[in-house]
Amino acid sequence: MSDNNATLTVGGDTKDYAVMDGTVGPQVIDVRKLYANTGMFTYDPGFTSTASCESGLTYIDGDAGILLHRGYPIGQLAEESSFMEVCYLLLNGELPSQKELEDFTTTITRHTMVHEQLSAFFRGFRRDAHPMAIMVGVVGALSAFYHDSTDINDPEQRRIASHRLIAKMPTIAAMAYKYSVGQPFVYPRNDLSYTANFLRMTFSVPAEDYIPDPVIVDAMDKIFILHADHEQNASTSTVRLAGSSGANPFACIAAGIACLWGPAHGGANEAALNMLREIGTVDRIPEYIARAKNKDDPFRLMGFGHRVYKNYDPRATVMQKTAKDVLEKLGVNDPVFDVAKELEQIALNDPYFVEKKLYPNVDFYSGVILSAIGFPTEMFTVLFALARTVGWVAQWNEMISDPAQKIGRPRQLYTGPTQRDYVGVDKR
């Protein structure tokens, strides 16, 4: 709690509101008593000025382009750590010792299989279903399978549910892909790393085993790290809101997946690559820049701009370098990468983008990498969901452990009709 108070005068009545300090970042005004004091609510659609919770997981300084997980900069984690280590860090608050990391990795590895009956759910979908539609359905269906980890008031059951979600997500994501291409599901293999196992479950076929290339595994692992958590974004807030009623953890994560699917959120990586492909060649870039600037055209430069970052998204820096490494390793000369780099340069020097502080975000280059690895665009958001699952469960756990949390229940400014009497249909 800060020594300062914020003073608000409403209708001549002045009241103080406590100002709360975080460890770093903006202070917040505690307005919980506002309605009781004044009979008024605050109005903040899109939560642009509202802190919905206290959190010790992730810190973003959008102006400086800083992203920290439990205090560690994302660049260091992406370059020096592994996705398993980052999962442990997000869930437990500290980096693991060697032994803790091995135990955690073993636990996750041992949970990668899904109940055999779950595979029946896939067959209920059309083959051309978007894999995110399948993910929403199948992850939601997990809530009907693992009854021994759904008592949210038991920390041990929450821990098991969290491990199950992190472990089973790659299996389900790979199954969604396999179903869409009409190939048999591939079971997990415990001798492979989390990420190598996922790549093998995705790309292996009975006729030919897939041997994951270390450069590709490393790139994929980095992509997972870069997407692991991102503070109170829309899907995380959705998971928290769903979870605030005490709902089943698997169902809460399905809600997060549904939210992530939207093109303004996780769907942007798919939209960004589609846009880059549509642009096709460097000479067409000015046409698209002009469209993005035209107020009468709904077109936006996908992979550009962010609610929080008003600077280069630190994840995009790692992503650009990873894209270069992967394309070089695979010997891919994708013109889309040239379009992306040139588009970035032009936009970064254009007054429209400069004044609005619109910079490349994490999604700008990720599609180029994922496409080079062999993923179809529909799978991009699925990979985001896979990686974000750890953030969702860590935030969900944090919320349930926080005594200050209540069921999420925003208020509104009512603008509909005032009370009126019902008129029978014969009199209308």
Q: Considering only residues 137, 243, 256, 305, which one is a binding residue for ligand CMC as defined by CB under 6 A? A: 305
Task: Report the relative pairing of strands 66-69 and 72-73 from DSSP bridges.
Answer: antiparallel
CB of 361 to ligand CMC, least distance (A): 4
One residue of 167, 199, 362, 394 binding ligand CMC per CB under 6 A:
362
CB of 291 to ligand CMC, least distance (A): 9
Closest CA to 330 of 220, 174, 170: 220
Q: Is 367 in the site for ligand CMC (CB under 6 A)?
A: no
Shorter beta-carbon distance to ligand CMC: residue 300 or 324: 300
Residue 393: which residues within 8 A CB-CB, separation 6 or more?
A: 91, 161, 162, 165, 166, 249, 253
Residue 356 engages ligand CMC in binding (rule: CB under 6 A): yes
Annotate each residue in 217-256 with x if it binds ligand CMC (CB under 6 A) or - if it does not, as one string.
Answer: -------------x--x-----------------------
**Token match 């942007």: residue?**
268
Backbone angles phi, psi at 10, to 5 degrees: -130, 120
Would you say 253 or 268 has its CB closer to ligand CMC?
268
* Piece in contact with ligand CMC (CB under 6 A), picked from 91-99, 181-189, 265-273, 282-290: 265-273
> Which phi and psi angles does 98 have, rounded to 5°?
-55, -45
Number of residue whose CB is nearest ligand CMC: 305
Nearer to ligand CMC (CB atom), residue 284 or residue 356 = 356
Our CB check for ligand CMC shows the closer of 159 and 265 to be: 265
CA distance 418 to 249: 39
Pick the closest to residue 35 from 413, 403, 404, 417 (CA basis). 413
Contact pick of 307, 324, 329, 341 for ligand CMC (by CB under 6 A):
307
When binding is defined by CB under 6 A, the residue of 132, 228, 358, 387 that contacts ligand CMC is 358
| Dihedral sign, Cα of residue 144, residue 150, residue 152, residue 157 | negative
Residue with Cβ nearer ligand CMC (159 or 300): 300
When binding is defined by CB under 6 A, the residue of 201, 301, 318, 323 that contacts ligand CMC is: 301
Instruction: Note whether 386 binds ligand CMC by CB under 6 A.
Output: no
17/149 Cα distance (integer angstroms): 40
306 lies in the site for ligand CMC, by CB under 6 A: yes
For residue 28 the two structure tokens come to 């917040």
Annotated catalytic sites, by residue? Answer: 306, 363
174 bridge partner residues: none
> Binding of ligand CMC at residue 363 (CB under 6 A)?
yes
Q: How many other C-beta atoms lie within 10 A of the C-beta of residue 295?
A: 5
Q: Mark the segment that binds ligand CMC (CB under 6 A) among 36-44, 119-127, 161-169, 263-271.
A: 263-271
Choice between 163 and 306, CB closer to ligand CMC: 306
In the complex, the smallest distance separating the C-beta of residue 237 from ligand CMC, rounded to whole angstroms, is 12
With respect to ligand CMC, which residue has the nearer C-beta, 385 or 399?
385
Looking at 264, 345, 410, 411, which residue binds ligand CMC (CB under 6 A)? 264
Q: How many binding residues for ligand CMC (CB under 6 A)?
A: 20
**β-pair partners for 40:** none
Whole-number minimum distance, CB 305 to ligand CMC, in Å?
A: 2
Identify the DSSP state of 148: G
Q: How far is the CB of 105 from ligand CMC (least distance, A)?
A: 28
Phi, psi (deg, nearest 5) at residue 212: -65, 130
HEC per residue, 72-131: EEHHHHHHHCCHHHHHHHHHHCCCCCHHHHHHHHHHHHHCCCCCHHHHHHHHCCCCCCCH
Residue whose structure tokens are 């949210």 = 152
- Helix then strand count (H, E) for the chain reads 18, 6
Q: How many CA atoms lie within 13 A of 109 on its CB side?
A: 16
- Tell me the window of 22-30, 204-212, 295-303, 393-401 that interacts with ligand CMC (CB under 6 A): 295-303
Longest dimension (CA), the chain: 79
Q: Which residues bind ligand CMC (CB under 6 A)?
A: 230, 233, 264-266, 268, 292, 300-307, 356, 358, 361-363
